[in-house]
Amino acid sequence: MRKTFCKAVVLAAMAAIFLTATAAAAETGTVTGSSLRIRQEPSTQSEALAQLNAGTQVQILDDLGDWYQISWGSYSGYVSADYISRSSTSTSTPAAPAPFAQAAIGQLGAVTGTGVNFRSAPSTDASVYYILSQGSQMTITGVSDGWCKMDDGSQEGYVNADYVSVNGIPLVDPKGIITGDCVNIRSIPSTDGDIVSKVYGGALVDLLSLENGWYAVSYGGAVGYIRNDCLSVYTGSSASGVGAAIAETALQYLGTPYAYGGASSRGFDCSGFTMYVLSQHGYSAPHSATSQWNSTGTYVERSDLQPGDLVLFCDPSRSNGKACSHVGIYIGDNEFVHASSGSSGKYVRISSLSEDYYNGYYVGAKRVA
């Protein structure tokens, strides 16, 4: 099935905008607290839209006294003025790198499928020169309309771009998943670069290129660079679109406080969190980890986990004899997001299935999508 390069076109347009941006005076602020929430209204009772870590830079839109109206990435809302240090600076928006598909021209592309056709023209009706084996490499000389023009050393031909990758990154809809808890997006591919934005673990970012150990990325309206050891190329293409969407929805609530019996964005317990996230995608689940284990979705082997799957655990000291004591949502890369009540933090956070506690008390997984 052919895919279009709409995203590449959009990102190319973004690149043009960034490249022509001029320096402009803007009042910025730096977060001084360890955890500051952006709220929908200037009130501690208002819904939290996102959570900012110390050192994050935001743009101040309005001063309301005890509150600032700010923008950060794709978010616009209100933060307590007590935890913002103001500074008026002249800033220039960094130039955006070229979209990944265009940056791939001139590089070696690897065939990712089996039995892939090397054709004489960019059409499924074109004659086939020969069949490519998985892992075959050729130089990419052009990318357009879902086709990759490649040179095998003696002739040029065309390969469906769905089956081509560069440095392990797929040409079509390239994404990375953040593997650190909170990662800086920088203005240049260096730790000396200014922090453009921050992104939390498990989030999916658009990959634009790989340059000297740094990925150029786009996320939430911000364009910049992330070190290659802070993200992995997203390999969840085999997951259902709904499952991936469930995982992304779950990640929107990182930092939301734990609340026993809670099942709303003001506070969750573990099964209240999974129940709430699933409901956003039209799925009904009971408010109990054991009940979700017994009656929600179909069983999945641990080796077959995909983003969006429920992962369940049983700590006998907390289960009161029930089958499960805890539940979360798998996000890929052996990690899951959950409403934690443990000593490591009572809020929605990301943990690894490899941690001794979760590995030891793992019960199984259920797939709803």
- Residues noted as catalytic: 270, 326, 338
Interatomic CA distance for residues 355 and 125, integer angstroms: 52
Indicate the SS3 state at residue 45: coil
DSSP 315: -
Burial class (CB in 10 A: 0-12, 13-18, 19+), 165: middle
Interatomic CA distance for residues 14 and 17, integer angstroms: 5
Amino acid at 220: G
Token representation of residue 58: 């935001």
Distance (Å) of CA 58 to CA 25, 65, 132, 183, 217 = 14, 17, 49, 16, 19
DSSP 64: -
Amino acid at 305: L
Q: Are 232 and 323 in contact (CB under 8 A)?
A: no
**What torsion do the CA atoms of 293, 299, 304, 305 make, to the nearest 10 degrees?**
-20
Amino acid at 357: Y
Distance (Å) of CA 90 to CA 27, 84, 152 = 8, 18, 49
**Residue among 99, 88, 55, 56 at smallest CA distance from 75:** 56
Indicate the SS3 state at residue 128: strand
**Residue among 202, 297, 178, 293 at smallest CA distance from 242:** 297
List CB contacts of 304: < 8 A, sequence separation 6 or more.
none
